[in-house]
């Protein structure tokens, strides 16, 4: 097979989310999100997201670091409560922050990739039922319109929701993320509302964007890695990838209705109604996949017969097995025939600033090479992969895990807010500089 290069306009970048890096949780007219008011007892070490990396104040320095690293693109999310702090109110200062950020990125030659929702539901929306109430659909639509009006002269790349399966599963089923609910019976309604909100947002972006948009969604994805590469093993893994995986919620549950307009037959009849499916399946330009570990022995389920025994783990105990990235790209493309963006992929390590003042993180550099090798394999096999967003640009607030897990390319001292580029950031720069020529 011909050894193909990464495409010329490949979106090399790194990702973040508003609540995880911005801080300034109650400044300049921002409203509160469900994470801002999270009970400290629910978060490791009683950490809060209130200051985080203070990116809200330090964004210029951060963009300068991105430029130094040679990033071609940067995926970030907009804080809904910073834009709409209360029902019916628009916060111009909040809008200004993102306009300034986009301008700063533009000046640095970095393409912005905007995610509209990365889990920070405004408290006022939650008070009206949050994602359980169908009112969220209209509220999200209105918020999307405000953001599109403000940013779409410069922003081309849009993602509606980040990992609906996670914020619904973790926030409303297992009660480990805000709003810390256990509402298993609400699953159908929650799923339907998220899907319809996504669909409305897509329509708004298409209708009002000033420059022709590229629209997608970022899915918590992943795959079962086949036992071997025989056709039989691949088909078994493919089947499991769409039907099992994240507990009850395999890839199929979320992706089939949104990306293929196909009903999910296994559970209930809620979003299988023709009317809903027609609405939910809006044409998309790409699908984003957030990929971390194979489903084979993931903590949320897995298959004992396909366990990958031993092997390397991240500091969070997540299995490191790069093959998951190739199989996710392969399976998702085969099924939905859409260009695929790796919208998140990365690893948490126990990083420290060493005596020489640097952060030596060889495991992360190795991780990036390994996983990108699998992206290359997919590209070689004609899967249209359009970009790779390392998770995450800088160490940040890792939800209920607080500040301990460090996923960043940039080390953040959370006491002083000082940033240090890790060795892996320099390694990633070299990869980008050669457009991936150093990847095997």
What residues make contact with ligand BGC under the rule CB under 6 A?
Answer: 17, 162-163, 166, 220, 290, 344, 391, 398
Rg of the chain over Cα atoms, rounded to whole angstroms, equals: 20
Spatial separation of the C-alpha atoms in residues 417 and 437, rounded to whole Å:
34
DSSP state of 72: S
Distance in Å, CB of 341 to ligand BGC, minimum: 14
Can you tell me whether residue 409 is helix, strand or coil? Answer: coil
Angstrom distances, CA of residue 270 to CA of 62, 192, 193, 242: 44, 7, 11, 19
Q: Partners of 412 in the beta sheet?
A: 419
Report the residue count for the chain. Answer: 440
Distance in Å, CB of 143 to ligand BGC, minimum: 19
Active site residues: 163, 344
Can you tell me whether residue 157 is helix, strand or coil? Answer: strand
Spatial separation of the C-alpha atoms in residues 424 and 408, rounded to whole Å:
9
Q: How many CB atoms lie within 10 A of CB 27?
A: 14
CA 424 distance to own-chain centroid:
20
Spatial separation of the C-alpha atoms in residues 266 and 188, rounded to whole Å:
12
Q: Going by C-beta distance under 8 Å and a sequence separation of 6 or more, which residues neighbour residue 275? A: none
Can you tell me whether residue 359 is helix, strand or coil? Answer: strand
Distance in Å, CB of 158 to ligand BGC, minimum: 16
Q: Which of 357, 343, 363 is nearest to 421 (CA)?
A: 357
Can you tell me whether residue 216 is helix, strand or coil? Answer: strand
Distance in Å, CB of 344 to ligand BGC, minimum: 6
Distance in Å, CB of 318 to ligand BGC, minimum: 8
Please identify, using beta-carbon distances, which residue of 146 and 161 lies nearer to ligand BGC. 161
Q: Which of 322, 313, 311, 317 is nearest to 345 (CA)?
A: 322
Distance in Å, CB of 364 to ligand BGC, minimum: 14
């Amino acid at each position: 097979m011909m050894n193909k290069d990464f495409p010329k306009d490949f979106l090399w970048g790194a990702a973040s989310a508003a609540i995880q890096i911005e801080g300034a949780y109650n400044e300049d007219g921002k409203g509160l999100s469900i994470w801002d008011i999270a009970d400290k007892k629910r978060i490791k070490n009683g950490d809060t997201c209130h200051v985080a990396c203070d990116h809200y104040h330090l964004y210029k320095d951060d963009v300068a670091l991105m430029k130094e690293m040679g990033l071609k693109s940067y995926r970030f999310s907009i804080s809904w409560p910073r834009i709409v702090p209360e029902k019916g109110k628009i916060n111009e200062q909040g809008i200004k922050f993102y306009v300034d950020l986009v301008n700063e990125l533009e000046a640095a030659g970095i393409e912005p990739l905007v995610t509209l929702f990365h889990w920070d539901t405004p408290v006022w929306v939650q008070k009206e039922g949050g994602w359980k109430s169908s009112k969220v659909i209209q509220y999200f639509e209105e918020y999307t319109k405000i953001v599109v009006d403000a940013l779409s002269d410069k922003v081309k790349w849009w993602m509606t929701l980040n990992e609906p399966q996670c914020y619904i599963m973790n926030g409303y089923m297992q009660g480990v993320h805000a709003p810390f609910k256990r509402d298993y019976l609400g699953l159908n309604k929650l799923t339907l509302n998220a899907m319809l909100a996504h669909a409305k947002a897509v329509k708004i972006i298409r209708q009002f964007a000033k420059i022709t948009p590229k629209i997608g969604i970022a899915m918590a994805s992943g795959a079962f890695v086949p036992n071997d590469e025989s056709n039989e093993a691949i088909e078994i893994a493919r089947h499991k990838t769409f039907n099992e995986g994240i507990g009850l919620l395999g890839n199929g549950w979320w992706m089939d209705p949104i990306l293929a307009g196909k009903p999910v037959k296994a559970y209930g009849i809620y979003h299988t109604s023709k009317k809903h499916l027609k609405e939910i399946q809006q044409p998309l330009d790409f699908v984003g996949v957030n990929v971390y570990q194979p489903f084979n022995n993931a903590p949320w389920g897995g298959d004992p017969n396909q366990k990958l025994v031993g092997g390397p783990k991240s500091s969070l105990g997540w299995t490191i097995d790069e093959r998951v990235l190739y199989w996710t790209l392969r399976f998702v493309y085969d099924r939905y025939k859409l260009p695929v963006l790796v919208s998140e992929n990365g690893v948490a390590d126990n990083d420290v600033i060493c005596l020489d003042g640097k952060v030596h993180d060889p495991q992360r550099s190795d991780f990036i090479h390994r996983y990108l090798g699998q992206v290359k394999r997919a590209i070689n096999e004609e899967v249209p992969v359009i970009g790779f967003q390392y998770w995450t640009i800088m160490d940040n607030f890792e939800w209920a895990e607080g500040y301990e897990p460090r996923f960043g390319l940039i080390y953040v001292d959370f006491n002083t807010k000082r940033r240090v580029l890790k060795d892996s950031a320099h390694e990633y720069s070299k990869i980008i500089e050669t457009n991936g020529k150093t990847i095997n």
